[in-house]
Amino acid sequence: MLQDGDSDMEWGEETLNWEEDDGAHEEVPEGPKGEFGHPLPPFVGPQPGPHYGDYKDMEPKKPGQVFALFWRREIFEKMRKATNNFGRLYVKRFTKEITFEEFEAFLGIVIHLGLIKHEGDRWRLWQKTWKGNEFVRTVMGYKRFEMILRAWHYADYEKYTADEIKENKKKDPFWPVAELEKDLNTVYQENMKPDQFLDIDEQCIPWKGRHKCRCYNKSKPIKRHFKVFSLNDSRSGYQMAFYLYRGIAEDRPAHISATSFPAERLLQDPMYHQKNHIMCADNWFASFQFLSICMRFGMHFVGTVQQKRKGIPFSFKTAHGQRQHRERGDFTSVKSTYYVSEELSDDVYYTAWLDRKPVGLLHTIPTKMGICTRMVKTKNDGWQRQQYTRPTIVKVYNWGMGGTDSGDQRMEAYRPELKTISWVPRVLSHFLNAAIVNSFIYYNLAFPGAQMTHYEFREGLVDCLVNDILADKVEETGKLTARSLNKKQWSKEKSRRIGKHWTIQDKKPDDQRVEGQNTSDPGKERTRNWFRGHCMMCGRIIPTKCQQCKVYLCTDLREETDSTCMISFHQLENFDSTNSTRAEDEN
């Protein structure tokens, strides 16, 4: 019998009495992914995934419809109104109100900045050089974008006096974005039903400026940051709930530790209670207090745990300078009855396993003995596969941990680089980024056959957001930008189907009209009054072209299509892409 040396337990009315778990060394065959050699507690929650009624009428090729479920119209309008009011009150020369289409385009540019991974001075994107970005210049001017960025807010400052704003910021350091944080949490939980495995971990929002809640961690890739505690579906990476860490301003009860409070706050919703969810956490969170919170909500727990945690009976970690006397693959599992209260108790297990380094796990699911394969170095500096024993609870932990990390990885891949003096746009862009990642995960679950990559999803979303303002610009100016695309590329280009299109002929200057000797009459010269090129649709050499698209298109009626190339080019959703003719002038 292994006795816990500390009898004064903070949680539980009885002392932990550890004893060997006799069933832990019962060998079981592990199956493929998701099969652990022994059954898990039965999941009694609803069928996981998105709500069918929300997406049954959506078109799979329009990611903007999925994004609208997360960045809802009321959120969008509230943000636009707050941005207009803040700009009018605090931004110099902010006289023109932001329209709905203009704010959509602004968000589209913010997302686009993450796609192109622009670093350095932002104004260079609007230069008409190779360093610039023609798409950004077309959608919105630089001064207008910077003005909207400085005014970007969600809290409506017009409703409060200066003293009230100061008092609100004193109570909550993240008051300007707190309401959006609450609204997005509500939306995320309404749109998705979680699977059995959940995990809690932290995310980082890069920020080097001044703020009382800015954190510093030298071991993180982003050393100076705002910390976000996130509850995610382990398998899909979908973010179910989150909140910004507020430091000493956090409303945390005195009897709950800082590492257990994320579980207490993020698991308050009844949708997680008494469903036999399995909560996974790393050794920063895992403790008996964290475990007791999960037990109160009817959840199981699996997590790596530090040796110094209160109640941990032993560890395979050796003292400094001592050699490890155990062999790789050795493990020991002990169990005890843990009392959360007089009415609530359950068996808990602690398993110590020696892999390349010692590993300790605290869990409420019994473990068995499985097998794992590792690559080990041979005496002649080669490598070979070797099998070792491994408790099955390690595989359960690996299966259930990493949802927050996978979601964070998706966000980091296309995080927009917005260097601003105020921290508010940085946090808002993170919230926007997280909503897009959740939209993409929702899209993949709702339309598994769509086969759209994350990049393509964001690219399609940018198109949806900027289409309205581009259509307005086309109606005003009659053109977009000069293009030179092949037929296959034009088939995917959406700008050919919006705005007004006019047929024109470009007249040649007098000094370019002569094209050589007339073959039918050698005494005369051959002249052309108009520039000519190959029709994009049929390939004939013609003088007529679309003024907006800069593409040569003939206007003769074709019997096989009962239409003209001009009409077909601008109305067909897709057309034959076998021809590679470019929209260029005849040589």
Out of 408, 437, 452, pick the residue that ends a domain: 408
Question: What percentage of residues in the chain have a pLDDT greater than 70?
Answer: 91
Note the pLDDT of residue 345: 86
Do 302 and 423 have their domain in common?
Answer: no
Do 64 and 124 have their domain in common?
Answer: yes
Do 496 and 403 have their domain in common?
Answer: no
Out of 408, 425, 442, pick the residue that ends a domain: 408
SS3 (DSSP) at 360: strand
Q: Which residue has the tokens 């004064």?
A: 8
Q: 469 falls in which pLDDT band (50, 70, 90)?
A: confident
- The answer to whether residue 258 is domain-embedded is yes
* Element spanning 70, H or E: helix 63-70
SS3 (DSSP) at 122: helix
How many Å apart are CA 174 and CA 338, to the nearest integer?
Answer: 38
Report the DSSP beta bridge partners of residue 334: 20, 350
Q: Which residue has the higher pLDDT, 412 or 11?
A: 412
How many Å apart are CA 552 and CA 532, to the nearest integer?
Answer: 8
Highest mean pLDDT among 10-14, 85-89, 132-136: 85-89
Do 420 and 524 have their domain in common?
Answer: no
Do 427 and 314 have their domain in common?
Answer: no
Report the domain count for the chain: 3
Note the pLDDT tens digit of each residue in 330-365: 999 999 999 888 888 899 999 999 998 999 999 999
Q: Mean pLDDT lowest for which of 7-16, 90-99, 207-216, 251-260?
A: 7-16
Within 267-372, residue ranges assigned H as helices are 288-296
Note the pLDDT of residue 51: 82
Token pair belonging to 318: 């050796």
Residue 137 burial by CB count (10 A; 0-12/13-18/19+): exposed, middle or buried? middle
Directed axis angle between helix 100-116 and helix 142-151, to 10°?
A: 100
- The answer to whether residue 586 is domain-embedded is no
Token pair belonging to 375: 């690559």
Cα 396 from chain centroid?
25
Do 303 and 446 have their domain in common?
Answer: no
- The answer to whether residue 342 is domain-embedded is yes
Highest mean pLDDT among 22-31, 181-190, 373-382, 548-557: 181-190
- Sequence letter at residue 423: W
Note the pLDDT tens digit of each residue in 34-83: 788 888 999 999 999 998 777 778 888 888 999 999 999 999 999 999 99
Do 280 and 341 have their domain in common?
Answer: yes
Residue 325, φ and ψ in degrees, nearest 5: -95, -5
Q: 578 falls in which pLDDT band (50, 70, 90)?
A: very low
Note the pLDDT tens digit of each residue in 402-428: 888 888 889 999 998 889 999 999 999
Note the pLDDT of residue 73: 94
Residue 548, φ and ψ in degrees, nearest 5: -80, -50
Per the prediction, the chain carries an average pLDDT of 86
- The answer to whether residue 182 is domain-embedded is no
- The answer to whether residue 336 is domain-embedded is yes
Q: Mean pLDDT lowest for which of 41-55, 412-426, 473-487, 549-563?
A: 473-487
How many Å apart are CA 389 and CA 335, to the nearest integer?
Answer: 20
Note the pLDDT tens digit of each residue in 150-183: 999 999 999 999 999 999 999 999 999 999 999 9
Do 235 and 383 have their domain in common?
Answer: yes
Q: Compute the chain's Rg from CA coordinates.
A: 31
Q: 520 falls in which pLDDT band (50, 70, 90)?
A: low
- The answer to whether residue 70 is domain-embedded is yes
Token pair belonging to 522: 């050698």
Do 324 and 374 have their domain in common?
Answer: yes
Note the pLDDT of residue 518: 59
The maximal CA–CA distance of the chain, rounded, in angstroms, is 116
First to last CA, the chain: 92
Do 109 and 211 have their domain in common?
Answer: no
How many Å apart are CA 178 and CA 266, to the nearest integer?
Answer: 15
Q: 451 falls in which pLDDT band (50, 70, 90)?
A: confident
Token pair belonging to 143: 């001064």
Q: Which residue has the tokens 């909503």?
A: 435
Q: 473 falls in which pLDDT band (50, 70, 90)?
A: low
Do 56 and 43 have their domain in common?
Answer: no
Do 241 and 122 have their domain in common?
Answer: no
- The answer to whether residue 161 is domain-embedded is yes
- The answer to whether residue 583 is domain-embedded is no
Q: 121 falls in which pLDDT band (50, 70, 90)?
A: confident
Note the pLDDT of residue 519: 57
* Element spanning 434, H or E: helix 424-446
> Where in the sequence is the domain holding 505, given as residue range(s)?
480-571
